[in-house]
């Protein structure tokens, strides 16, 4: 799996390289990017029916339609790499496939 990781003061982004099928705590999803946004960083301007994270994503060059977004109270710069997972607070992203077990309440892994 090729991809990249980008972290700033407001969000952490795992770029999977292409749109991939993911499995999350809510079920299946399609996304190229998985973003963990710091609480309070969502846009002030919100249109009905639109994601409150749209302005933050666009500011960082991410297309909202290809981005799976999680919210976290943790600092995105305080991420950890554990056993093939990128972990920020209560969110874990497994870019290399399903883990043996999930240790956070919010997660996403790439389906093979």
The residue extents of the domains of the chain are: 4-110
pLDDT for the residue numbered 49 = 46
* Interacting residues of 84 by C-beta distance below 8 A, sequence separation 6+: 94, 95, 96, 99
pLDDT tens, the chain, 112 aa long = 567 999 988 899 999 999 999 999 999 999 999 999 988 665 555 454 456 778 888 888 899 889 999 999 999 999 999 888 999 999 999 999 999 999 999 999 999 8
CA torsion, ordered 68, 74, 79, 80, to nearest 10 deg? -110
Task: Report residue 109 as tokens.
Answer: 């892994």
pTM over 0.75: yes
- Residue 54 phi/psi, 5-degree rounding, is -50, -50
pLDDT (0 to 100) of residue 42: 56
């Amino acid at each position: 799996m090729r991809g990249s990781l980008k972290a700033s003061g407001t969000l952490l982004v795992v770029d999977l390289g292409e749109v991939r099928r993911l499995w999350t705590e809510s079920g299946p999803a399609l996304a190229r990017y998985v973003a963990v946004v710091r609480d309070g960083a969502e846009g002030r301007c919100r249109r009905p029916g639109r994601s409150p994270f749209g302005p933050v994503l666009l500011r960082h060059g991410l297309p909202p339609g290809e981005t799976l977004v999680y919210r976290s109270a943790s600092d995105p710069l305080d991420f950890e790499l554990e056993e093939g997972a990128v972990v920020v607070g209560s969110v874990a992203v497994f870019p290399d496939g399903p883990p043996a077990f999930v240790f956070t309440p919010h997660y996403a892994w790439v389906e093979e």
